[in-house]
Structure 1
Amino acid sequence: MITQAELLISLRMSLTVSLLFLLFISGVVAQNGWSVRYNQNYFCALKGSEVTMSCTYTYPSGYKVQKAFWTKQWGQGSEPPDLSDDPEYSGRVQYLGDKHSDCTLRLSDVREEDQSKYYFRFITDQTGGRYQGAEGVDLSVTDLQVEVPERVIEGDKVTLTCKTTCSLTVRPTFTWYRNGHRLSSSTDQLHLQPVSREDAGRYRCAVLGLRSPEVTLNVRYGPKSISVSVSPSGEIVEGSSVTLTCSSDANPPVEYNWFKGTSLVAKGETYTMNKISSVDSGEYKCRSSNEHGEKLSEALTLNVLYPPKNISVSISPSGEIVEGSSVTLTCSSDANPPVQSYTWFKEGGSSPVGSGHSYRALQSGSYYCVAQNEHGSQKSAAVTVTVKGESEEAIHLIMQTKHRQNVDTNAKDDTYTALDPVSRSSDDVYCTLTNVDPNAKDDTYTALDPVSRSSDDVYNTLTTVHSSPSDDLYSALDPQSRSPEYDTLAVVLS
C-alpha cells in the first residue's frame, strides 16, 4: 500500500518530467539559466520573399552580453562565423534583436542557396559565458510553378495548378494571370471547364506579389473561321494573273486543298493562275483540315472577262435565193461581257453595210461581221450569198444585146455568161441594156406584138431582121424557117 509520502514524491517527479518536456518542445533548453527559445522552428519561404525568424534568450544574472548574432554552423571547437559577415548575405540580413532578451533576425530576398539551418548564438563578458540555441530554425526555399496538362483539346476539362516544393508557412492567397491580365481565381488551382481556344495563352500564378514563370496553355482544335480572298480584286480579264488565298483559325496548322466545283485543282495556302482564261471561270472553294477536323469555305466565284471569240455567221434560208427575195445573216459569238455591237461588211468594200445581230442581204456577194465588246473585237469568216435572176429578164437583156451589137464587137457569144453578174466586167456593155427603155412593158411577148408595141419600141429592130417575117412570132423561132438573126433568141427560148 502506497503511503502519502510516496504519493507526494511520485507527483513531484511527474511534474518535473512534464515541465522538462514542455521546455524541450518549445525550443528552450535551460542550463543553469542559459536558454534560447525559437518561436518557430521551420519556414517554407518563396524565393525572393522575406523571412523573419523571431526568438528570445536568457542568461544568468551578473553577465553582460557583448555580442549576439546568427550563424549557419553549430559551434564546436572554433567560433562559428557571424551571418552578417558572410558576403552572400551582405545587405540581406538584419538583426532586429538586442543584447538583452530579443534575438529576432530578418532575411530578405530569399534565395535558393539560403536553404539551411540557422542558429542564434550570444557571447557574454565572462569566461565561458557563451551559448547557442541547439534547436535552430530550418529554412526551406521554393518557387512557384504552374502545372498544365501536356495535351489539351478544345472541350476538355482542364485544371491548372500553382505548385510549390514545400507547404508555405503562411497560408497564401493566390493570384492568376493570363497574358498579363488578372483572373478571378484566388486558390492554388484554376479550373477551365470546358476549355476553349480562347483559353489558350500564357499563364502564371502569384503569391504575395511574387510571380511564377509563365507557361503556355496550348489548346488544340479543328479549323474555324475559314475564308477565301482573291488578288488583285476587281475585274478579272483573260490573260491576267490571279491568286486565291485561303486562311483559317486552327491548331495545329492545317492543310489546304482547292476545288473548282467538285474537282481538286490545287494544294497549298495559295492558288495562282498566271494566265487566266475563260475556262477558269466558275466557283472555287478551299478545304482546311487537320487531325481534329476539316471545314469547307464558302464559294468564291471568278468571272473572267474576255473579247469576242468563236464568231460565226449563219444563213437563213440556205441555198440560192431568187431575185426579189432576201436572205437573213445572223452573227453569233462567245464573249464576256456580251457583245456590245455587231457590224456587217461586204467583201471588197471598206464601209459597213449594216449593224445589229442580224442583217438582211438583197444582193449577191460575200459578207462577214465584226463583233466587239469593251475588251476587243473579232472578225468572222465570210459567207457567200447568191441571188439568181428570172428568165423574162434574161430575154429582155438578149434583145437589147442584139440591138446594140455594134457597141461592143467583142461581146461574148454566150449570152447567159454575159448576163451573169459575177462573171461580167464592170464596164460590160450588157450593163447598159436595162436603161434603153425604162418604160418597156414587163411582158416580153407583148412587147413583140406588132399591134401593141409602140412605134419607137426598141423591139422594132426585130422587124428589120427579115424582109417578110411571119405574123406568128414563134414561127420566127423555127429553126427551119427563121433567118439566122434569131438563132440567139431560139437558144434562149429552147
Structure 2
Amino acid sequence: MASLRVSLPLLLLLMIVGAFGTEWSVKYNQQKICALKGSTVFMNGTFTHPGGQTVTEVFWVMDPDQNPSWPDMSKNADYSGRVEYLTDEWKHFSLNLNNVMKKDEHQYCVRIKTDQEKQKYLGRPGVTLTVTELHVETPGEVTEGETADLTCKTTCSLTDPTFIWYKNGHPLTTKTINNNQLHLQTVSSEDAGSYSCAVRGYQHLHSTAQNLRVRYPPKNVSVSIRPSGEIMEGSSVTLTCSSDANPPVKNYTWIKGSTSVGEGKTYSIPNIRSEDSGEYTCQSRNDHGERRSAAVQLNVLYPPKNVSVSISPSGEIVEGSSVTLTCSSDANPPAKNYTWFKEGGTSPVGSGQNYSIISITADHTGLYCCVAQNEHGAQRTAGVPVSLKGYPVILYVAVGVGLCFIFLVFLTVVLWRSRRKKQDENMDQPIYANEGEKDHSPPLEDKSSVYANVVAFKKQH
C-alpha cells in the first residue's frame, strides 16, 4: 500500500485555505417569482463568507443598480409592517413580503455585513418579483345547447396553482375544471351569471367577475287575467302574457281555441260578451324559438236571455188531458229558478223548469208566463195562451204581461242589491295560468230561492 506523503508547506497552505480561504457566495432557491396581488411572498436561500469573520447584519436591498447606497428596504415607508427577515446559524436567510402590490415588482438582493467594516457583500443577481391579478375570460354570450369554456388567466405563471371557480359568488363543485379552465359541456339558461376565479389558499383574492350570457327561446310562459274573480258580461277584461327569454320576446300571438285573435303582450276585450267565453293561450316568440302558455279559461257570466216557453203536446188541447209547459233560457250559470204565473192571479202557480197541468179544465185556460232567474238577473217570457178545443178564450194579454213584469221588477232589485254587495267584497287580484296548469274560477255562491228573495224584498218595503 502506497503511503501518502504531504510536504510541510502544502499542509500549511491547506490549513490556511480552510481557515481563511472561504469566499463570498449567495444562492437563491428561486430567482423568479410570480405572486398574486394581495398574497404573501417568501424569498430564501443560503450564503457563505470568508472565515475569521462574524456576520453582524443581513438585510435586503431593492433594485441595487438604481440605489447605489444599497439601503435596507425595511426602512422604506412603503414596506413598513410588511417586511420580515429571518437568518439562522447555518447561514440560511429569507424575506417575507406581505400583501404584495403591483408597485412591488422589483429585483430583491440580500446584503451581508460582517465585523470587519470593509467586508460587505451583495448577492446579485437577486430575485425578480412579478405581481399578477386573476382575470376571467368568457365567450361573452352563447346559445343554449352549445359548449363554453371560461379561462382564469394571469400575466405570469404561478407555482402549482389549484384554481377554484365561483358563480354569483358561490363555489362551483359540479362543473368540469381543467387546470385554469372551466368547461360547460351543454349550456342551459341556468348557466347564465357572473363568474370569478381564485387560487386555493388565497380564496379571498377573487378575480373580477365576468358575465356569461345565454341566449334561449321563451320559457315559463304564463297568462294573467285582470280583473280577477267573476267576469260579467259587458265588463272590460285584459289578458297579459309573461315569459322568460333571451333576447326578450318580440312577438306575442293570442289564440282562442285554435283561432288567432290578437297580437301584443296584452289582449283587451273592452265590452266582453258571452261569445267571448273560451280557452285562451299566448304564444311567445324570439329569434331562438317559440313556446305557448297553458290555456286560461274565460268564463263570462250573464243573466238569463232568450227565455221561451214550449207546450207539450202541441196542437189542440182536449179537456181532461194533461199538458206540460217547459221554460228554456240561455244563462251562465244556468238558470236555477223558474217561476210560473197565470194572468189574473196574485201569486205564482208553480216553479221549476216544467209546469204540468193534469186533467185540464176550462178553469186552466188563459195566459201563462215564465220568469227565469240566476245569480245575475232574471228575464220573463211573453204570455203564452193555453186553450181547450171548442172553448173560446179571452186573452188578458195586458194583465198577464203586467203580472210577470211586476214580479220581474222585484227580482231585479233584489239581485241588484246582492250583486253590488258581492262586487264590493271582490278583491282585484290577477289570476295566473302557467305552463301545464289551467285556471279554475271560484264557484259561484249558492243563492236562496226566488221566493225568499221576494219575501225579503217585500219586508224591506
Q: Under TM normalisation by the shorter chain, which class is it?
A: 0.5 to 0.7
Deviations 1:64-91 (A, max 9, x none): 4443221223257852332111222122
Q: Matches of residues 345-364 of structure 1 in structure 2 within 5 Å? A: 345-357=341-353
Q: Gapped runs of 5+ residues in structure 2? A: 1-20, 397-461
Please identify, of 378-387 and 147-156, the stretch whose mean Cα deviation from structure 2 is larger.
378-387
2:290 is the counterpart of 1:301: no
Structure 1 counterpart of 2:209, one-letter code? E
For the Cα contact (< 8 Å) 1:201–1:216, is it kept in 2?
A: yes
Structure 1 equivalent of residue 25 of structure 2: 35
Larger Rg: 1
Q: AA paired with 1:287? A: Q
Matched, 1:142 2:132: yes
1:377 is aligned to: 378
Aligned with 1:221 (options 213, 216, 232): 216
Map of 2:182 onto structure 1: 190
Alignment match, 2:152: 162
Q: In structure 1, how many angstroms separate the alpha carbons of the residues matched to 2:155 and 2:46?
A: 30
Q: CA deviation at 1:312?
A: 3.1
- 1:48 — aligned with what? 38
Which one is further off, 144-153 or 94-103? 94-103
Percent of aligned positions that are identical: 58
Indicate if the aligned counterparts of 1:65 and 1:100 stay in contact, CA closer than 8 A. no
Task: Using the TM superposition, give the Cα deviation of residue 98 of structure 1 relative to its aligned residue in structure 2, in angstroms.
Answer: 5.3
Q: 1:115 aligns with which of 105, 128, 142?
A: 105
Q: CA offsets, 1:315-339, max 9 Å, x none?
A: 6799998989998755332112222
Amino acid at match of 2:192: A
TM-score, normalisation: structure 2:
0.67
Quickly say closer, same or farther: Cα 1:266–1:371, change in 2 above 3 A.
Answer: farther
**Paired residue secondary structure (1:136):** strand
Change (3 A) 1:326 1:121: same
Please name the residue that 1:71 is paired with: 61
Alignment correspondent of 2:440: none
Pick the aligned partner of 1:175 from 164, 171, 189. Answer: 164
SS at match of 2:128: strand
CA distance in 1: counterparts of 2:247 and 2:80, whole angstroms:
50
More strand by share: 2
Secondary structure, counterpart of 1:134 in structure 2: strand
Whether the 8 Å contact between 1:40 and 1:54 is mirrored in structure 2 is yes
Q: In 2, are the aligned partners of 1:116 and 1:140 still within 8 Å (CA)? A: yes
Match of 2:261 among 259, 264, 267: 264
Kindly provide the amino acid, as one letter, of the partner of residue 119 in structure 1. Answer: C
Question: Match of 2:369?
Answer: 368
The RMSD of aligned alpha carbons is 3.7
**What stretches of structure 1 of length at least 5 have no aligned partner?**
1-30, 391-418, 424-494
Normalising by structure 1, we get a TM-score of: 0.63
Q: Distance in 2 between matches of 1:156 and 1:348?
A: 84
Cα distance in 1 between the residues matched to 2:371 and 2:282: 41
Cα shift at 1:377: 1.4
Q: Is 1:332 equivalent to 2:328 in the alignment?
A: yes
The residue that corresponds to 1:152 in the other structure is 142
Correspondence 1:290 to 2:286: yes
In the other structure, the counterpart of 1:80 is: 70
AA partner of residue 165 (structure 2): W
Residue 253 of structure 1: aligned partner: 248
Q: Determine if contact 2:218/2:243 at 8 Å carries over to the other structure.
A: yes
Change in Cα spacing, 1:43 to 1:420, as seen in structure 2 (3 Å) is closer
Give the C-alpha shift of residue 241 in structure 1: 6.4
In structure 2, C-alpha distance between the alignment counterparts of 1:76 and 1:159, rounded to whole Å: 44
Could you tell me how far 1:308 is from its partner in structure 2?
0.7
Confirm or deny that 1:106 pairs with 2:96.
yes
- Once the 2 structures are TM-superposed, how far is the Cα of residue 300 of structure 1 from its aligned partner? 2.1
User: Would you say the 8 A contact 1:259–1:266 is kept in 2?
Assistant: no
Task: Quote the offset at 1:350 in angstroms.
Answer: 2.8
CA distance in 1, matches of 2:291, 2:275: 27
* Structure 2 CA distance for aligned equivalents of residues 242 and 62 of structure 1: 103
Deviation at 1:356, TM superposition (A): 4.2
Point out which structure has higher relative CO (alpha carbons under 8 A, 6+ apart). 2
Contact 1:75–1:132 (Cα < 8 Å) also in 2: no
Please give the secondary structure, in 1, of the residue aligned with 2:145. coil
Deviations 1:316-369 (A, max 9, x none): 799998989998755332112222232222344332244444556966644322
| Amino acid aligned to 1:264 | V
Q: 1:206 and 2:198 equivalent?
A: yes
CA distance in 1: counterparts of 2:73 and 2:90, whole angstroms: 19
> Higher mean Cα deviation, 96-105 or 282-291?
96-105
CA contact (8 A) 1:64 1:125 kept: yes
C-alpha distance in structure 2 between counterparts of 1:292 and 1:148, whole Å: 21
d(CA) in 2 for partners of 1:254, 1:83: 62
User: Which amino acid in structure 2 is aligned with residue 57 of structure 1?
Assistant: F
Aligned residue pair count: 363
Aligned to 2:400: none
Cα 1:72–1:193 change in 2 (3 A) is same
